[in-house]
Amino acid sequence: MSEERNGGQNQKQGHAKTLFITGTGTDIGKTYVTGLILKKLRQSGVSAAYYKAAMSGNDRREDKSLIPGDALTVKEVSGICQPLEEMCPYIYENAVSPHLASRMEGNPVVMEQVKRGFETVCERYEYVTMEGSGGILCPICMDEEEIWLEDVIRACNIGCVIVADAGLGTINSVGLTAFYMKEKKIPIRGVIFNHYEPGNVLHEDNRKMCEYLTGVKVVACVKDGDQELDIAQELLKEWYRC
Catalytic residues: 52
DSSP secondary structure letters along 28-95: SSHHHHHHHHHHHHHHTTS-EEEEESEE-S--B-TTSPBP-HHHHHHHHHH-----GGGT-SEE-SSS
> Helix, strand or coil for residue 225?
coil
Using the 8-state DSSP alphabet, how is residue 105 labeled?
A: H
Separation of alpha carbons 64 and 29, rounded Å: 27
In the chain the beta strands, taken as DSSP E runs, fall at 17-23, 48-52, 54-55, 90-91, 127-135, 139-142, 146-148, 160-165, 188-194, 218-222
Spatial distance between the Cα atoms of 91 and 109, rounded to a whole number of angstroms: 10
